[in-house]
Amino acid sequence: MSDRLTTSKVGLSLAIAAVLVLAACGSSTQGAKPKTYTGTLTFASFNPFTGPDASFGPEMAAGCIPAANTINQAGGVLGHQVQCIAVDTRGDPADAVPAAQKMIASTENLVGMNGPSSDEALATVPIIDRAHLPMFADSGQAAFDKSTYKYFYRLTPPDDAAGVAMAIYAYNKGYRRGAAVFGNDLSSQGNVPNLLTAFAKLGGQIVINQTLTLDQSSYRTEVTALVAASPDVIFTEADPQTDAAYLSQLQQLHGLIPVIGTQPTVQPPWIKAVGGAVGRDALSKNFAAAQPFSTSQGPAWDVYNKALLAAGSEVPQPDQWSQDPYTETDYDAIIIMALAMLEAKTPDPSFYNALIPAVVGNATGATEVHSFKEGMDAIAAGKKINYVGAGGPIAFDEYQNSTGAFELIGYSTNGSNPQLAVVSAEDIAKLRR
Amino acid sequence: MQQLIPAFGFGLITASILAIAAVGFTLQFSVTNILNLAYGDIMTACAFAAYLANHAGVNIWISLVVGALFGAVFSMLLNRFVYFGFVRRGTRLFGMIIVTIAVSLIIQNLLLAIFRPTFFTYEASQGPSYQLGSMVFTASQLAIMGIAVVAMVCVHLLLTQTQLGKAMRATATNPGLARSCGIPTDQVIDAAWLVSGALCGIAGVALVLNTATFSETTGAAFLVPIIASAVLGGIGQPYGAMLGALTIGIAGETAAALMSPAYKDVVAFVILIVVLLVRPQGILSEIAAAKEVAA
């Protein structure tokens, strides 16, 4: 009886141990075989396509589609054609979480994605990471500055860096009394802490800090409080309708004062809404915006721009994205993932993810490439590669962030955005919290 | 504190738009017993109708009339061809709310498909500014307040001085009894949709004149304060809706002046909750109490 008990206990222990070993193997790629794929591989643009930040999605898709086209023209990835799909998060975590779960559960051959944006990143990054899906977020949230998510990458600067760039530009222009006027959404509020700190460190003063409830019918009381504080510059990011109502009511009650916005404030919907409300002349005289700096030139950008303009009906008005740093890096992200698949010899994200940093960065002896085709040929020739993208050189830090300088751009009545100044990454780093 | 009086003035502008919208909303409910959550989207559709007229070269105030006419006809047709079918089958209040939500989504997405996801602005000047004490109003805002006052007086006269108004009130109180007394309730309901739709159209255009720019979601974003105004006054009560609109409009602006703009909506809704705790049927409540809907 005792022997039988001992034997069954040993058996149970062995069974538990075996299950644990199997579980451990299941969570690691070591010793496991890559998944087999048949048919077209899919990249998702996981971003708001409707809601207050509906402009984010088309901007992202405009990067994915030309990247997929250049990959397909080069013969695809490991014999697979690739495609882009749009997944609408509505800019709201409550909608984004089920959208992420549905995307992961039901998208055939989903191998990578662009996004999420700041609106939904905190809620969805853990879900996507758990699904072992490489993501190139366009979230600027500082929470990801030291991200430990294995599948999280970021090619764009954090929001709080934009706040610092705005502060530096304003101070250099001679403004000393700033007003922070930001929407109460996560994306907008991400700019505020470092803006306040940096402007104070430089010697300026934030005379009023307003958090706007979005899409109200009137902001006149807020505008009256702003005017009473006598700022000489307004820092802002809010959705187009909110900023249009706020700035037009400022114009009615007092007259416009210089406005410095963030990257969303140079997007066509914001320009159309605010330009329509205050007049394009007034906008051109009073407006500047900070956005990640990209030279928008060089061999990789040429390939990107050619593919973008050739996208036809897939990308409406493609030329509007030609010099958009976010679209450029969205394009780069797809190329980087595809090249990492070639290095790993499989599109299986659990395998190629670890090789993403290896296809960028200036490793010794690496061959510089500027397109998927060049990278594919170099890898086929047994060379190490360094992909220099449409958005410029890429080098991930230990947290898989690759960030750079900012530029300040203006707005002219003919629709162009003249460059007003460049704020270096070093200057921003000095003032970041 | 010195911003309080200007804030009161700004609250009057918001309240004027809210009052037009809330009276239309509550009139619809009182006569038809349909809580029409597509109301905000119909406001947007009316704003687009006025936009098309305005961009065809029509003066903004005539465009406002176009918006009102569109709202009247659209609302009546919506009831005739969509809502009435459900009512005839005996769909209850909750079921009708779901139907109106579906209609709201359909209108919003149709507008999105037709006009694309972008922003629109009327070709209209705000006109000169006028200082009244420490309150400042533009000519356009004074016109909006004037339109609100005229609309409220017209609604009052309609309800108290005309056969149609009396028939509306009778239908609102007890449709079965009204019908057995010879009141043609179907025509009265059509008239109620026409009148409330016209108010909806005026409110939609006035809202856009105030916000300066709009998209397919503008009216829907304004629906919550409209409902709050209607509920605060006692749902189904046009005079209550006027009072509710005044309370919500002024409370929000003064809260923004005294505290932070972030508390604008919070304070307005705290007032709503407190009033409803003390008087669950709303400030003016005869019809609501009779229908047992506010309890």
Residues with Cβ < 8 Å from A356, sequence gap 6 or more? A134, A153, A336, A337, A340, A396
* Closest CA relative to residue A274, chosen from A253, A291, A249, A297: A249
In this model, does residue B291 exceed pLDDT 90? no
Report the residue of chain A nearest B139, measured CA to CA: A252
What is the pLDDT tens value at each position of chain A, 433 positions in all? 444 444 444 454 444 444 444 444 444 455 578 999 999 999 999 999 988 788 899 999 999 999 999 999 999 999 999 999 999 999 999 999 999 999 999 999 999 999 999 899 999 999 999 999 999 999 878 789 889 999 999 998 887 788 999 999 999 999 999 999 999 887 888 889 989 999 999 999 999 999 998 888 889 999 999 999 999 999 999 999 999 999 999 998 899 999 999 988 988 889 999 999 999 999 999 999 998 888 788 999 999 999 999 998 899 999 999 989 899 999 999 999 999 999 999 999 999 999 999 999 777 789 999 999 999 999 999 999 999 999 888 888 888 988 778 899 999 988 888 999 999 877 887 887 5
Residue matched to tokens 């109460």: A184
Report the residue of chain A nearest B210, measured CA to CA: A217
Residue B19, min C-alpha distance to chain A (Å)? 13
Residues of B in contact with A225 (CB under 8 A): 3, 256-257, 261
Is residue B140 a contact partner of residue B123, using CB atoms and an 8 Å limit? Answer: no
* Closest CA relative to residue B118, chosen from A175, A299, A54: A54
Residue B183, min C-alpha distance to chain A (Å)? 40
CB atoms within 10 A of CB A218: 25
* Per-residue pLDDT, B1: 59
Residue A217, min C-alpha distance to chain B (Å)? 5
Helices (H) and strands (E) counted in chain B, each on its own, are 14, 2
What percentage of residues in chain B have a pLDDT greater than 90? Answer: 57
Residues with Cβ < 8 Å from A316, sequence gap 6 or more? A58
Query: In what helix (H) or strand (E) does residue A169 lie, and over which residues does it extend?
Result: helix A159-172
* Cα–Cα distance for residue pair A246/A237, rounded to 1 Å: 11
How distant is the alpha carbon of residue A354 from its chain centre? 20
Query: In what helix (H) or strand (E) does residue A114 lie, and over which residues does it extend?
Result: strand A110-114
Tokens of B287: 């019809």
- Span of A137-151, B101-115, B199-213 with lowest mean pLDDT: A137-151
Degrees (nearest 5) of the Cα angle A347, A396, A423? 135
Name the interface residues of B facing A (CB cutoff 8 Å).
2-3, 6-7, 10-11, 13-14, 17, 112, 117-121, 126, 129, 136, 138, 207, 210-215, 217-218, 221-222, 253-254, 256-257, 260-262, 264-265
Is residue A256 a contact partner of residue A247, using CB atoms and an 8 Å limit? Answer: yes
For B288, counting Cβ atoms within 10 Å of its Cβ (0-12 exposed, 13-18 middle, 19+ buried), the class is buried
Ranked by mean pLDDT, the top range of A405-409, B45-49, B231-235 is B45-49
Report the residue of chain B nearest A217, measured CA to CA: B211
Q: Domains in chain A, start-ordered, CATH in brackets?
A: 41-157+298-387 (3.40.50.2300), 159-291+405-431 (3.40.50.2300)
* Cα–Cα distance for residue pair B179/B76, rounded to 1 Å: 20
Is residue A194 a contact partner of residue A161, using CB atoms and an 8 Å limit? Answer: yes
Residues of A in contact with B121 (CB under 8 A): 244, 273, 276-277
Nearest Cβ partner for B13 among A215, A218, A248: A218
